[in-house]
């Protein structure tokens, strides 16, 4: 888990550094040139490169991919123009938004204390982005849009059939994002 988080932080830091010399879309394309073949190779190795996807899951995979594209664009637009610490703080609300969406759209049980935590957490994000003051920028909205898209992605992922392998879904997502 710690290595995974380190990889995310390194990726974010490297992407922010690369934005000085190239556009967001060029950086994403270059990242896709690395990730797509690696995921495809792993899917081939696991015999999951080509699978049959049920019609119900096709719509959910499409929604998931679209949400991931939105999350990527929103996050990287914000990352390019905001301090890394600010966008990271905004993204810390993700477990709260996913919990809220799971309760509202999946019928998950959420008690009073969790609803209180969600309310306090969302209030904290509003304090971080400070809407209406000089500290607010449109890029805070991009970060919030990324949060919304990741929340949609997680709910769509949860609704996928349990027998659908994750590697083809990851590969479809990587191809779509790399083609931005």
Q: What is the predicted pLDDT for the residue at 163?
A: 92
Q: Are 155 and 68 in contact (CB under 8 A)?
A: no
Q: What is the predicted pLDDT for the residue at 142?
A: 94
Instruction: Look at residue 59 and give its three-state secondary structure.
Output: helix
For the chain, the average pLDDT equals: 91
Q: What is the predicted pLDDT for the residue at 179?
A: 86
Q: What is the predicted pLDDT for the residue at 180?
A: 81
Q: What is the predicted pLDDT for the residue at 137?
A: 80
Burial 153-165 (b: 16+ CB within 10 A, else e): bbbbbeebeeebe
110: which DSSP letter? -
Q: What is the predicted pLDDT for the residue at 133?
A: 61
Tens-digit pLDDT profile for residues 17-56? 999 899 999 999 999 999 999 999 999 999 998 889 999 9
List of residues 6+ apart from 73 with CB closer than 8 A: 24, 142, 146, 180
Taking 70 as the pLDDT cut, the residues of the chain under it are 131-136
Q: What is the predicted pLDDT for the residue at 132?
A: 61
The pTM of the full predicted model, rounded to 2 decimals, is: 0.87
Dig out the tokens for 145 from the structure. 């849009």
d(CA 141, CA 75): 10
DSSP letters spanning 13-42: HHHHHHTTTS-HHHHHHHHHHHHHHHHHHH
């Amino acid at each position: 888990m710690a290595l995974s988080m380190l990889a995310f932080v390194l990726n974010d830091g490297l992407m922010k550094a690369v934005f000085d010399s190239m556009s967001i879309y060029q950086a994403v394309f270059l990242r896709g040139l690395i990730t797509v073949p690696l995921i495809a190779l792993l899917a081939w190795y696991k015999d999951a490169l080509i699978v049959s996807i049920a019609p119900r899951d096709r719509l959910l995979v499409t929604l998931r991919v679209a949400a991931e594209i939105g999350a990527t664009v929103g996050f990287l637009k914000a990352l390019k123009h905001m301090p890394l610490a600010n966008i990271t703080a905004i993204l810390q609300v993700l477990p709260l938004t996913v919990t809220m969406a799971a309760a509202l759209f999946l019928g998950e049980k959420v008690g009073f204390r969790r609803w209180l935590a969600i309310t306090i957490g969302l209030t904290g994000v509003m304090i971080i982005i400070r809407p209406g003051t000089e500290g607010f920028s449109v890029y805070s909205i991009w970060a919030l849009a990324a949060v919304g898209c990741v929340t949609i992605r997680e709910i769509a992922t949860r609704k996928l059939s349990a027998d659908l392998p994750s590697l083809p879904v990851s590969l479809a997502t990587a191809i779509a994002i790399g083609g931005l």
